[in-house]
Amino acid sequence: MLLCIIRREILNGFLSLRLPFTLLLVTAVMVSAAFLFLEDYQQQLVDYDRNIQDNIQKVSQRAKGGLASVFSHSHQWVYRAPTQLAFLAAGHEKNMPNAFEVNAFTIENPTRRLRENCFLRWSEDLDWTFVISVIMSFAAIVLVYDSISGERESGTLRLSMSNPVPRSTVILGKYLGAMIMLVIPLLVGMLFSMIIITTSGKVSLAGIDWVRILATVLLSLLYLSIFVLLGLFISSLLRSSAASLVLLLLAWTLIVVVIPSVTSVIAARFSELPSDRVLGRIANTAWNKARQEHGARYPESANRSTRVWWPKYSLGRHLYCSDAEMAVYRDYWDQMVSDVRFGYNATRISPCVLYRRAAESIAGSGIDHHESFVKQIWQYRASLRDFLVSHYPLELHKLYDTTEELERLVFATLSKVKFTGADVPRFHDDPIPAGDAMRNSLWDIAILFILNFVFFMAAYISFLRRDVR
């Protein structure tokens, strides 16, 4: 009986053009998105490798000048690696800083050094998450809006209820039928996308990546099922299918368009991020306080660019001061991340936000990637420091700038410390481990499950109580 209802639903969807349209649209978008992703990813890899090579070359050139020239006032650029699973969820990474300037003392200048046009309007990334969260959810609504109210209007509901079919079977059949109708375009689109991506040879997916892709597929089903259940609920609640459509479109607009776009407003509203000027002042105070603690008599000017370590200065003091200063910047960057996270949390009432966050976590992109990138930069800075301190041939806390002779002597001693560029630690942005990525998404998935359950109960109860006439 269940099968019979499902078959009828699918046939109905096929004849009313909804299924063919969805199939066509989703496949077309997924295929073009896959090609665009490949092209883009390839380019990103090339750029990333070139930047890394440039950096290595620069460091080894400086290494010839000894310790002083690698570490005094020269920075290295470290870059965020392109995310391989960005085709699942790109997570707006193009709009986030992908490069920092680092040396043993400071981390500064978060910049977007990309082949990207910051003036180009970025509405959304064209990835699986976009296709599913916007297009497929819309299709889900169009598929089910008249599934019960329409049948009542045409009188067929009465006919099928006159047969010895329990209502639970009817609603289950309708639910499964709609889900199958969504799964067909979803799987076809994903299959095409995966074929294009894997046969290109530009992306090498490990076993664990396939688990992540599978998890994304299941997550997508969980998300779409919410819209189907919502559709069934409203469709059985309202008398006319036109009204049910209006209400559903309204709900869709709120969930998919309006609430996600409130995120940034909320995040900005409740943020207490200091302005650049204030931040500079705080950092400068921290620096000079540390300087005083370390026994320096004069405070230094607020101009950061003059505050570089010259070998003649005390290395110990400079490390100490820069730690104090960087703590301010670290708080600032952490604050940025937590502001954005706050915005997300405030808009998590929308399943669309939940879904996108979970998909980003699984793919290891977006704000999670940014956070892990920044964390790795801090570790890298620590390793640069260790390298510098372990190679420093002089007394860590002594000042050498009292006379010109002494200063020359310091330079001469430091230039004698020999090492090659290969000895200097290198930065590599490692992707988030699959286990952590999955763990990050657990909460969102759990909430999606609960929402599914709630909407299923709502749809079931309102259908049970419904008068079929």
Partner 1 sequence: MIWTIAKRELHSNIITFRFLVSLILSLALITASAYMFAGDYKVRLDKYNENVKNNELPYWERLGGIKVHCQIESGAERFPSPLGFLSTGSDKELGNTISGITFKKVPREAVGQSGGNVLMGMLPSLDMALIIRVVLSLLALLLAYDAISGERERGTLAVMLSNPVPRHQVLLGKLLGGMISIAIPLAAGLLTGLLVMLLYGSAVLDSSAWVRIGLVFLCSLLYLSTIFMMGILVSARTRRSATSLVILLFIWVVLVMLWPNMGSYVARQTLKVEDKSVVDTKREALEREREGKIEQVGERMRRAGLHPPDWFRFNRRGTSSGYSGDIPYPGALQYLERESMIWYVEGIKHIVPLKMEYADKVWELYRAYEEELRRQVAFSENISRISPAWTYYNAISALAGTDYGAYTRFMNQARRYRQQLVDYTSSRQGFSTRSFFTPMKLSDTLTYSQLEEMQSRYGNEAIEELQSSYWPKAPVLTGIPVFRHQPEPLTESISRTLPDITILVLLNIIFFLAAYASFVRQEVK
- Interactions with partner 1, residue window 362-391 (CB under 8 A): 367, 370
Show Cβ contacts of residue 319 under 8 Å, excluding neighbours closer than 6 positions: 104, 105, 385, 389
Binding of partner 1 by 29 (CB under 8 A): yes
Binding of partner 1 by 36 (CB under 8 A): yes
Q: Which of residues 226-255 bind partner 1 (CB under 8 A)?
A: 242-243, 245-247, 249-250, 253
- The dihedrals phi and psi of 397, each to the nearest 5 degrees, come to -105, 15
Q: Say how far apart CA 429 and CA 55 lie, in whole Å.
A: 14
- Work out the widest C-alpha separation in the chain, in whole angstroms: 105
- The dihedrals phi and psi of 395, each to the nearest 5 degrees, come to -75, 130
Q: Say how far apart CA 240 and CA 247 lie, in whole Å.
A: 11
Compute, in degrees rounded to 10, the torsion defined by CA atoms 263, 267, 268, 269.
100
Q: Say how far apart CA 102 and CA 99 lie, in whole Å.
A: 9
User: Residue 259 or residue 437: which is nearer to partner 1 going by CB?
Assistant: 259
Residue of the chain from 262, 302, 409, 468 that contacts partner 1 (CB under 8 A): 262
Q: Say how far apart CA 342 and CA 271 lie, in whole Å.
A: 9
Binding of partner 1 by 110 (CB under 8 A): yes
Contact characters 129-148, partner 1, x per CB under 8 A? -x---xx--x---x---x--
User: Residue 10 or residue 165: which is nearer to partner 1 going by CB?
Assistant: 10
Task: Residue 247: count other Cβ atoms within 10 Å of its Cβ.
Answer: 17
Q: Which of residues 38-67 bind partner 1 (CB under 8 A)?
A: 39-40, 43, 47, 50-51, 54
Contact characters 283-312, partner 1, x per CB under 8 A? ---------------x-------x------
Binding of partner 1 by 104 (CB under 8 A): no
User: Residue 99 or residue 458: which is nearer to partner 1 going by CB?
Assistant: 99
User: Residue 92 or residue 167: which is nearer to partner 1 going by CB?
Assistant: 92
Residues linked to residue 108 through DSSP beta bridges, in sequence order: 101
Residue of the chain from 78, 88, 267, 290 that contacts partner 1 (CB under 8 A): 267
Q: Which of residues 446-465 bind partner 1 (CB under 8 A)?
A: none
Residue of the chain from 7, 115, 158, 418 that contacts partner 1 (CB under 8 A): 115
Q: Count residues near partner 1 (CB under 8 A).
A: 80
What are the b/e assignments for 151-161, b being 16+ CB within 10 Å?
A: bbeeeebeeeb
Binding of partner 1 by 270 (CB under 8 A): no
Q: CB 32 → partner 1: shortest distance, Å?
A: 7
